[in-house]
């Protein structure tokens, strides 16, 4: 062994992509620890390196390829090292074979529907010392009670449903995550209660479109119903805050708004990806709503939940997006007054309907548009943050700010970052902070005792 370290019993997972993937990595870690593996402090010291991949945009894939390229050297130095590639990218048709051809030193490729098989697959690799591939085209039933090794933190992710049925024309997620499958409410309630007893104060319910929750279950349950049950969950120790992501604006019912407005636990935070402000483009994306419907929803939420934080995802440069369409997006952004937006340049995903559309937009034009959009949104985000100056906010304290100087960092119910002076022992608690100054990406304040 070149390093002189016994690296065989340790693992390191590198995760790309969304929170769903981050949480899947927590399950992968849980399974590895159940097998007796321990976390390696550093990738270089690990006996098993897993890449949990994303393919939503080409940039995400390129990061995986470049890391795989760098791992070649490590494998040469440590032939015993096991390298595994899982997640959304591995699930794409033909990709597993391609990865194994291009990176012949990869030992294991497994798809999103094969995650729970990890112990068995690693066993096969160790036994046979030859590459193993497991990518099922479709999902089986949900496997409950998998071990989870959560990342240290004050909030916990809980998957409530898998997959997506929407097939927005630009998006690869439904192809790599399969059809919608909801977990049974009793399994979710049990997990949340357990997390509360473990001391977590906040849970984030995960699904590609949580508003479809329950449609595939036999019982009469929907997302609003699930939130109501969680609101009244006893034995949950201290779960005080509930968040969820992501909500499809098309399915955000009045009943759901009323449920959230009446709830003490569900935070006043709404992440509602709009994608575009032009009806022509929304139609081509098959989003299922118009700009008018979307803005109506935003108004309903603002009326029912005063002070709500609303954020969004927006894409520029969808095929055929003309200057006037882009201006419709800018105009919608102004009217909605978002607290924040994740902005993306449209990226062609092979196999999706939009990849075949005429009128692909030149990269330079897309860049110019996204810059204009970001400039506008930054101005609005700052204005929205200025509105809370002087107010007192509840903040779930995460710990010390990385900048040092004894500052603590946390988030308010609206998911905004708050920085203030305080003792590090407050980590994990919900405290009151008066906001003294608003910035673009954070609020600063003073602890109220």
Residues making contact with ligand SF4 (CB under 6 A):
164, 166-168, 171, 173-174, 208-209, 248
Interaction partner, residue 17 (ligand SF4, ligand SAH, ligand F3S, none; CB < 5-8 Å by kind): ligand F3S
**Cα–Cα distance list, 9 to 105, 128, 356, 393 (Å):** 19, 18, 47, 45
The CA distance from 372 to 364, in Å, is: 13
* Residue 173 makes contact with ligand SAH by CB under 6 A: yes
Neighbours of 292 (CB within 10 A): 10
Binder of residue 346, out of ligand F3S, ligand SAH, ligand SF4, none (CB less than 5 to 8 A by kind): ligand SAH
Q: Which is nearer to ligand F3S, 177 or 265 (CB)?
A: 177
Q: CB-wise, 5 or 376, nearer to ligand SAH?
A: 376
Query: CA-CA distance, 178 to 23, in Å (whole number)?
Result: 17
Shortest distance (Å) from residue 364 CB to ligand F3S? 26
By CB under 6 A, the residues from 375 to 434 that bind ligand SAH are none
219-258 mask for ligand SAH (x: CB under 6 A)?
---------------------------x-x----------
- Among 41-49, 118-126, 291-299, 341-349, the segment contacting ligand SAH (CB under 6 A): 341-349
Tell me whether residue 301 or residue 314 sits nearer to ligand F3S (CB atom): 314
Q: Which of residues 95 and 192 has its CB atom nearest to ligand F3S in the complex?
A: 95
d(CA 367, CA 338): 21
Range in contact with ligand SAH (rule: CB under 6 A) among 8-16, 132-140, 217-225, 342-350: 342-350
Element (H, E) at 11: strand 10-15
Burial class (CB in 10 A: 0-12, 13-18, 19+), 42: exposed
Q: Which does 347 bind (CB under 5 to 8 A by kind): ligand SF4, ligand SAH, ligand F3S, none?
A: ligand SAH
Alpha carbons 216 and 200: distance in angstroms, whole number:
29
Integer Cα distance of 425 and 242 in angstroms: 23
CA nearest neighbour of 182 among 211, 216, 205, 228? 216
Nearer to ligand F3S, 143 or 371 (CB): 143
Instruction: Residue 39: name the closest of 127, 413, 48, 246 by CA.
Output: 48
Min. distance of Cβ 204 from ligand F3S in angstroms? 14
Binding site for ligand F3S (CB under 6 A): 17-18, 20-21, 54-56, 88, 173, 176-177
Among positions 281-310, residues that touch ligand SAH (CB under 6 A) are none
Shortest reach from residue 362's CB to ligand SF4, in Å: 24
Q: What angle do CA 388, 389, 394 make, to 5 degrees?
A: 60
Ranges of H-type helices in 172-311: 173-177, 185-198, 223-231, 254-262, 279-285, 291-304
**Positions that interact with ligand SAH (CB under 6 A):** 56-57, 170-171, 173, 208-209, 246, 248, 273, 275, 313, 315, 344, 346-347, 349
């Amino acid at each position: 062994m070149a390093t002189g370290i016994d690296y065989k019993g340790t693992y390191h997972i590198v995760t790309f992509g969304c929170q769903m993937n981050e949480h899947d990595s927590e399950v992968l870690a849980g399974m590895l620890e159940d097998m007796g593996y321990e976390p390696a402090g550093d990738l270089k010291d690990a006996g098993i390196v897993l890449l949990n991949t994303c393919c939503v945009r080409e940039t995400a894939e390129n990061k995986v390829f470049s890391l795989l390229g760098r791992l070649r050297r490590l494998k040469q130095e440590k032939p015993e090292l096991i390298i595994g590639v899982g997640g959304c990218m591995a699930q794409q048709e033909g990709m597993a074979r391609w990865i194994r051809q291009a990176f012949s030193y990869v030992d294991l490729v497994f798809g999103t529907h094969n995650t729970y098989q990890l112990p068995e697959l690693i066993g096969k690799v160790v036994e046979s010392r030859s590459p193993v591939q497991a990518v099922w085209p479709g999902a089986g039933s949900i496997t409950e009670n998998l071990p989870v090794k959560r990342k240290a933190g004050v909030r916990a992710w809980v998957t409530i449903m898998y997959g997506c049925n929407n097939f927005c024309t630009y998006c690869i997620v439904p192809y790599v995550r399969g059809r919608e499958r909801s977990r049974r409410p009793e399994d979710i309630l049990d997990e949340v209660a357990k997390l509360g007893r473990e001391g977590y104060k906040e849970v984030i319910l995960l699904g590609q479109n949580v508003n479809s929750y329950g449609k595939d279950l036999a019982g009469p349950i929907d997302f609003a119903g699930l939130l109501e049950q969680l609101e009244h969950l006893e034995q949950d120790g201290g779960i005080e805050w509930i968040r969820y992501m992501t909500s499809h604006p098309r399915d955000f019912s009045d009943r759901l708004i009323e449920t959230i407005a009446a709830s003490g636990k569900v935070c006043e935070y709404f992440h509602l990806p709009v994608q575009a402000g032009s009806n022509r483009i929304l139609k081509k994306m098959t989003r299922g709503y118009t700009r008018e419907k979307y803005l109506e929803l935003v108004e309903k939420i603002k009326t029912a939940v005063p002070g709500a934080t609303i954020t969004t995802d927006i894409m520029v440069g969808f095929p055929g997006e003309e200057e006037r369409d882009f201006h419709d997006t800018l105009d919608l952004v102004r009217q909605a007054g978002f607290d924040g937006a994740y902005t993306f340049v449209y990226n062609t995903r092979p196999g999706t309907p939009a990849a075949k559309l005429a009128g692909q937009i030149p990269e330079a034009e897309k860049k110019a548009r996204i810059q204009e959009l970001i400039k506008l949104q930054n101005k609005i985000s700052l204005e929205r943050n200025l509105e809370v100056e002087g107010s007192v906010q509840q903040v779930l304290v995460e710990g010390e700010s990385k900048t040092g100087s004894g500052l603590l960092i946390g988030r308010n119910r609206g998911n905004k970052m708050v920085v203030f002076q305080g003792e590090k022992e407050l980590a994990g608690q919900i405290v009151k902070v008066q906001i003294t100054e608003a910035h673009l990406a954070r609020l600063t304040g003073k602890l109220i005792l």
